[in-house]
Amino acid sequence: MKCSSFGKCGSCVLYEMDYPSQVEMKKNRLLEMFSEFDMPNLEVFTGSDEHFRARAEFRIWHDGDKSYYGMFGLKERKIVTIDECNIVDKAIADIMKPFLDEVVNNEFLRVKLYAVEFLSNSKGELIITMIYHKKWDEEEMRPHIEKLKQKFPNTDYVVRRKGKKVFIDRNYLIEELNIKDKIYKYKMIEATFTQPNRKMNEKMISWAMDNSEGLSGDLVEMYCGHGNFTIPMASKFRKVIATEISQQSIDAAFYNADINGVDNITFLAMSAADFARLKDENSPLLAKYDLKNILVDPPRAGLDDKSRVFTDGFDNIIYISCNPETLKRDLETLSKNRKIKAFALFDQFPWTNHMECGVILEKI
């Protein structure tokens, strides 16, 4: 990949390495980090090194009558202007300049525009979120946004300022993922978490499904979000019960299960700790489940102490991690009475040091 922002923007810190070298470095780093464990062969999944991000956020930097996209710099924590970004989805890359040109030529939209967020789907549809550090009247804002919609027909808009949010038409996209030659549809709501690398997400879900073949019992999933893993994984189990603390994500998960015709999932809007309490108290809600398997996809902090103890109570664990350091800490507990059956590196973010991992643990 070539990009005029290489060496300036702080996003692509590995810009001096070719892509195969980046992958090899990450592979070797993981093998070294987890060398104390009885590891199987490390599976490595890669994708395109350009136009892979379906979500992106840029600060807007103003200088006189000009405005620029800005990111924190590579060497100093100050905003540097960028002319292009080739890691974002093609639909986002193509609209960035013409969209900002329209904003710059509209003084109402330009003044105090602080940041712009982009969300795209596989069809090239976009939600653009405009974040302001000024007060604005909804009725006054609306016609300006409608002009943007006319100029860019595949876009919807969310406009924000402190204490105020306006949707123009809708605040979500329908994503389509190809999982093992089957199309799954997902409602992705603006400002909720979604996997940013579409193709790598498909590979992660397929890998988790392949490693669930032949498991007996039902599945618990914690941190389920909008059902990203939950809905395809449901085909591998009799019943699934999934939890997520965000009510908005749970609402999307119910919707996504329905549009995919999946009816063996129970979604609960509760924290992992609250669900663990239900299990500890032998809640009647769980009486109909044979809870032997768990899938966890926690935030960068990994599992907290209570969630780690809870997870340790299952025979089989599918652990998706966005932080190898907290994964290593958690495996020190979870691998004591289990075999590490599979370990995978998913290169979600080329040009960065980020490493997404998947681990399958099986009770000995």
Burial of 217 (0-12, 13-18, 19+ CB in 10 A): middle
Query: Do 33 and 324 form a contact (C-beta atoms < 8 A)?
Result: yes
16: CB partners within 8 A, 6+ apart: none
Up-side HSE of residue 98: CA atoms within 13 Å toward CB? Answer: 10
Is 322 one of the catalytic residues?
yes
Burial of 59 (0-12, 13-18, 19+ CB in 10 A): middle
Query: Do 238 and 264 form a contact (C-beta atoms < 8 A)?
Result: yes
Report phi then psi at 137, rounded to 5.
-95, 135
Active site residue: 12, 85, 224, 322, which one? Answer: 322
Active site residue: 221, 244, 356, 357, which one? Answer: 356
Is 356 one of the catalytic residues?
yes
Q: How does DSSP assign 128-176, residue by residue?
A: EEEEESS---HHHHHHHHHHHHHHSTTEEEEEEETTEEEEES-SEEEEE
SS3 259: helix
Catalytic sites, residue numbers: 322, 356
